[in-house]
Amino acid sequence: MKRTFALILAALAVFALFAGLVYAVLVAANLAEPAATTVHGLTSRRLWATTAAVLALAGVVIGGLALMRPGSRLGTASGRLGTSIALVAGLIAVFNGALNLAVANGGPGTGNGVVGAAGALVLGLIAIVVGGLGMTRSRSIG
């Protein structure tokens, strides 16, 4: 019971930190103000930002698996496949998130995908860090 509560509390803390980082990216890009009129539905820029965020999330997950299970197919002991995937996915997500934020002309609700782009930027940076940790670990193992 205590462990479950601790895990839930840790997940909430991680989510709050992630939301704070996304908001900080939006403030830094001068895109934190909500739109006067909200656009509903999936726009091309929202799809672009969501795709970048999903790619970044996949990079974080694959890099995390490579760090947790070094003997697996994606792990650091059997080569650098997982960490390389995490690095490449993170770089692509950071580039696309930053590019989407750069061309956006409004804040959340405008249909420009700025929230997804900020999320892709933050998750992409996390994927790069996880991939870099895996690369340094694979150098020390092999």
Q: Is the pTM of this model over 0.95?
A: no
Rounded CA separation 140/89 (Å): 23
Q: How many CB atoms lie within 10 A of CB 38?
A: 10
Q: What is the pLDDT along the chain (142 residues), one digit of tens a residue?
A: 677 888 788 888 888 888 888 888 888 877 777 777 777 888 888 999 999 999 999 999 998 888 887 666 555 555 578 888 999 999 999 999 999 988 888 888 888 888 999 999 999 999 999 988 888 876 665 5
In the chain, the number of structural domains is 1
Residue 55 CA, distance from chain mean position: 8
pLDDT for the residue 20: 85
Taken as a whole, the chain contains a residue count of 142
Name, in order, each residue with C-beta under 8 angstroms of 78's C-beta and a sequence gap of 6 or more: 70, 71, 72
Domain extent, residue 26, equals 2-141
**DSSP 8-state assignment for residue 139:** H
